[in-house]
Structure 1
């Protein structure tokens, strides 16, 4: 393994330990042994690739077997990691938890093997997800992203991913969640190739593309029966999408009188970083308020 210094070396070591546990088929926590092999086999066998041409392109209409919940979706915007949010929601025995993986379009798990630190890397080094991303079905996802920067609406569904490590690398009893892998538009890369006076037009196309992608994400969670969904400030890190815009788009899909209103029992936005958290929270609440105001009394 390549050598790194400081934090990267520590995170790369955690990633290596996780993969070793998966390869061994189990791990020890105190005097308890937890098996991983059966869940990994089931997950890889049932990984689903959704091409850009999927029927989910017709997300505007619920499929016949999907109905909205009779109670309103509850929302939480929390300054926690996706790992923390997944583990919290999984404590409810009635919950079917799904989590969004903010994916690299090119590299399974992003740079987690070399100690990189972002949302996908955190998931990959703390769970069995990497096995799904690298199985033959998972490989189709990375072959799909042919348009530079915009990538593709393709997605992966990884059922029954076991999460068994904490953010700091501690070992924990496993909890299961479905993971949806999607790559956001790389807004920074798109605009880097354009002249300054072309940025405004690009912003419009990026927003439209992200709206479509995020709608398909929700449609896949809905189709897979997720009741409790962990989302976040999708693509606003190194991909440089605007935080307020992403918050508004989630509200436009999940808010009052919108397509995915009450599709889920609970939606948790897990967001790290105080500034991102505050901007996202303000943007989401502001847009939901605007949507409520449009509903006739």
Structure 2
């Protein structure tokens, strides 16, 4: 039995069945997945019931898991499952979580049961095998993804025990922009355009998978910023392009999107997202009331 003490004294919860379920239901989506590759075409196979309402966007300075905890505890605002995006290592499950690393994946590995799905599932084995076989040293990586439902959160950011709750975790490797920039001796603008193109495609596939899974609330972030060295401005703009601007493929696909940005990049990210959104609103207003 895998048991875990809750916040209340003398309470023990058996989470072993939940851990097994999460591992067994973890699914691998390869680089060539038709479902994800065709993200721009047609309507989702599963639509959220409240698709007629506008997505609510929230920016917070807390971590992804503390944000998920807040959402899960606030039943008034929580509708359906919570999806958390994990910027994962291409080769090492959990990254450097055993040696004290504090990147997002490493915190997830210490505070949740995600490591069991990454290390011990057949889907996890396929995910890392594909990344190893496809590795060419370019830093772009591939579009493969791992979806782990019902991951149990057991600790808060300070390592204190929580009353366990579950989230869905989507693990995906961002472009390593630092490697790309050093690998290719080409014009800087051309290099950045390539990074942007690949990141937009990957982020769109991420949203398509969350959409397909029927997730109502997303906890995203500055995906690929930090150790992967992508620009927070670029990532903010891309999320806006995919989720908010007019004719965005995923506009109103979700009830709520929370951008968890605990580090120094929040201001640049939020400004970029809002600037792109404002630009879209202005263009839409001009279309409705054209200037003579």
Per the normalisation by structure 2, the TM-score is: 0.90
SS in structure 2 of the partner of residue 90 of structure 1: helix
Partners in 2 of 1:224 and 1:65 — Cα distance? Answer: 7
SS in structure 2 of the partner of residue 80 of structure 1: coil
SS in structure 2 of the partner of residue 294 of structure 1: helix
Q: 1:66 aligns with which of 26, 47, 56?
A: 47
The 10-residue stretch of structure 1 (248-257 or 144-153) with the greater mean CA deviation from structure 2? 144-153
SS in structure 2 of the partner of residue 282 of structure 1: helix
Structure 2 counterpart of 1:284: 273
| Unmatched segments (≥5 aa) in structure 2 | none
1:1-297 to 2 correspondences below 5 Å? 25-29=2-6, 30-55=9-34, 56-61=36-41, 62-66=43-47, 69-91=51-73, 92=75, 94-134=79-119, 135-145=121-131, 146=134, 147-148=136-137, 149-195=139-185, 197-257=186-246, 258-273=248-263, 275-295=264-284, 296-297=287-288
Partners in 2 of 1:128 and 1:36 — Cα distance? Answer: 10
**Partner deviation per Cα, 1:218-264 (whole Å, 9 max, x = no partner):** 00000001000000001111110011000000000001320000000
SS in structure 2 of the partner of residue 113 of structure 1: helix
- Aligned partners of 2:46 and 2:211 also within 8 Å: no
Partners in 1 of 2:157 and 2:182 — Cα distance? Answer: 33
**Partner deviation per Cα, 1:62-84 (whole Å, 9 max, x = no partner):** 23433671100000011010011
The 10-residue stretch of structure 1 (131-140 or 143-152) with the greater mean CA deviation from structure 2? 143-152
**Partner deviation per Cα, 1:179-234 (whole Å, 9 max, x = no partner):** 00001000001111233x53321111110000000000000000001000000001
Partners in 2 of 1:156 and 1:253 — Cα distance? Answer: 21
**Partner deviation per Cα, 1:105-135 (whole Å, 9 max, x = no partner):** 1111111011111111111100010011112
The 10-residue stretch of structure 1 (92-101 or 283-292) with the greater mean CA deviation from structure 2? 92-101
Per the normalisation by structure 1, the TM-score is: 0.88
- Aligned partners of 1:99 and 1:230 also within 8 Å: yes
SS in structure 1 of the partner of residue 165 of structure 2: strand
Partners in 1 of 2:45 and 2:15 — Cα distance? Answer: 35
Partners in 1 of 2:155 and 2:189 — Cα distance? Answer: 42
Partners in 1 of 2:169 and 2:46 — Cα distance? Answer: 21
Structure 2 counterpart of 1:17: none
- Aligned partners of 1:97 and 1:226 also within 8 Å: yes
Partners in 2 of 1:64 and 1:191 — Cα distance? Answer: 38
Structure 2 counterpart of 1:19: none
- Aligned partners of 1:89 and 1:95 also within 8 Å: no
Aligned residues: 272
- Aligned partners of 1:256 and 1:292 also within 8 Å: yes
Shift of 1:34: 1.4
Partners in 2 of 1:189 and 1:105 — Cα distance? Answer: 14
